[in-house]
Amino acid sequence: MSITENNQIVANIAKSSEEQSVAISQINEGIDQVAQVIQQNSATAEESAAISEEMSAQASVLEDLVGKFKLRGNDGMMARVKVAPAGMQSQMAISGPSPFSQMGGKY
């Protein structure tokens, strides 16, 4: 093997090492970016959990307040507003005859 061949092999090794170094740097940057996204997602999840707990507490207070309302229908019957069961909070139910039943079904 000649000196020229040895120099060529060493140059190829140096070039390959440089390419690997660049690739490793890019991988490290990608890992850093993934770590940042994970940290942001974790913070967002914690905030969401705190907000969810706060909303649950506020919903309980609202449920208590709404439960105190009473409606009087055209027939003079009192009806108490009650909150629908869990999972159906967006729907409200009225116990007793509907206060709107005497209005000709327009409502």
Read off the pLDDT of residues 46-85 as tens digits, 9 standing for 90 and up: 999 999 999 999 999 998 888 787 777 667 666 666 666 6
Beta-carbon contacts of 69 under 8 Å, excluding residues fewer than 6 positions away, are 80, 81
Are residues 47 and 87 located together in one domain of the fold? no
Are residues 71 and 38 located together in one domain of the fold? no
pLDDT (mean) for 83-93? 54
Are residues 55 and 90 located together in one domain of the fold? no
The mean pLDDT value of the chain amounts to 81
**What confidence score (pLDDT) does residue 106 get?**
47
Return the percentage of the chain with pLDDT > 90, whole number. Answer: 57
Give dist(CA 25, CA 95) in Å, integer.
Answer: 68
Are residues 55 and 9 located together in one domain of the fold? yes
Domain residues for 88? Answer: 67-107
- pLDDT of residue 14 exceeding 50, the answer is yes
Are residues 52 and 4 located together in one domain of the fold? yes
Are residues 3 and 29 located together in one domain of the fold? yes
Are residues 81 and 48 located together in one domain of the fold? no
Are residues 6 and 50 located together in one domain of the fold? yes
Are residues 26 and 74 located together in one domain of the fold? no
**What confidence score (pLDDT) does residue 45 get?**
96
Q: How many domains does the chain have?
A: 2
Length of the chain: 107
Q: Using alpha carbons, list the distances in angstroms from residue 45 to 37, 40, 57, 105.
A: 12, 9, 18, 46
